Amino acid sequence: MSGTNGIKAEKAGGLTGINRAILVAAFALLAAAIGYSVWRDTTPAADPAAEDVAAPRDQLAAIEARTAREPNSADAWTALGAARFDLGDFAGAIAAYEKATRLSPDAAGLWSALGEARVMASERDPMPAAAARAFDKAIALDASDPRARYFLAVKKDIGGDHKGAIDDWFALLADTPEGAPWEADLHRTIEQVGAIHRIDVAARLASTRPRAPTADEMPVAARAIPGPSRAEMEAASQLPKGQQDAMIAGMVDGLEAKLKANPADVDRWIMLMRSRMTLGETAKAAQALKDAMAANPGATARLKAQGQLLGVPGA
């Protein structure tokens, strides 16, 4: 895999090919605080010179302005950490997440997000002590935090306990909601580590299934914005990439406009979060979650469960 993940692996002296693979797979673990999409590193941009850079940086400026206005808002610092992480500014993400954890020290997802940023910012150590401490803190607050569990298994594998790491990943797989964004990558990691270290995992993989989603987790997180008709899809496929992007953005913005008119539609809020995460707009997804909970306090548990499944920052 190319991009920043590959660069980091080259810098991390002593990393094996499988350690590179498991660190890369970690970024599909979209649970709790950061929604980082692996496809952004594997799908080449139509124009690497820059067509998609301005919007995230403009968005970053708006989020930074929010932290200046609301310096005691953990949500604002969380959104800034997510935005900086998405831009590859891992040192900046660390600084933002450290402020968020000081303001909201009991949020496990923030600690695991901080740990992930510390891993990515490290030039040579694939599992810095500070990152491990953040993951330990996350687990102490929430033993089910998927990202912390994943990375602590990575730590075992790096330390030579390959079987222990595989066992931990199997346990995480068994606790993973079916269809979760990280399910396939976790499955693949187990296969790869097993193959490299000659540990037979085939039978266990065949018998281990992700759990059924809870009532709060299904079915809306699996859906996105209401889809176009077949004719609209066929027409869209003929458009240049820029126009396709504009069409998608228009659909998402239209969904958001409908929510302003009817903020009580919880399913549409979840669709909006999903759409923003799919577009890599993690800060906007976080804002959608915040707005949805404010408009629907009785649905807070469901919204947070859906947000965690989608990897919305602050869920």
Q: CATH number, domain at 125?
A: 1.25.40.10
- With a pLDDT cut of 90, the percent of the chain lying above it is 27
- With a pLDDT cut of 70, the percent of the chain lying above it is 70
Same domain, residue pair 178 and 200: yes
**Residue 216 pLDDT level (bands cut at 50, 70, 90):** low
Same domain, residue pair 158 and 23: yes
Same domain, residue pair 199 and 139: yes
Same domain, residue pair 159 and 17: yes
Q: How many domains does the chain have?
A: 2
For residue 231, give Cα distances in angstroms to 203, 236, 261. Answer: 45, 9, 28
Q: How far apart are CA 162 and CA 165, in angstroms?
A: 5
Asked if residue 181 has a cis previous peptide bond (ω within 30° of 0), the answer is: no
* Residue closest to 83 by CA, chosen among 99, 64, 69, 100: 64
Domain assignment present for residue 213? The answer is no
Residue 42: helix, strand or coil by DSSP? Answer: helix
Same domain, residue pair 59 and 195: yes
State the helix-helix crossing angle for 74-86 and 54-69, rounded to 10 degrees.
160
Domain assignment present for residue 233? The answer is yes
Domain assignment present for residue 89? The answer is yes
Domain assignment present for residue 315? The answer is no
Asked if residue 44 has a cis previous peptide bond (ω within 30° of 0), the answer is: no
pTM of the model: 0.59
Same domain, residue pair 67 and 158: yes
Q: What is the model's pLDDT at position 261? A: 81
Q: What is the mean pLDDT of residues 100-126?
A: 91
Q: Quick one: CA dihedral 112, 272, 187, 8, positive or negative?
A: negative
50/84: higher pLDDT: 84
Same domain, residue pair 131 and 203: yes
Same domain, residue pair 166 and 24: yes
Same domain, residue pair 254 and 177: no
- Cβ–Cβ < 8 Å for 286, 312: yes
Q: Which domain holds residue 304?
A: 220-310
Q: What is the DSSP letter of 104?
A: S
Same domain, residue pair 108 and 246: no
Query: Cα 210–212–213 angle (5° rounding)?
Result: 110
Side-chain half-sphere CA neighbours of 146 within 13 A: 29
Same domain, residue pair 159 and 226: no
**Residue 4 pLDDT level (bands cut at 50, 70, 90):** very low
Domain assignment present for residue 264? The answer is yes
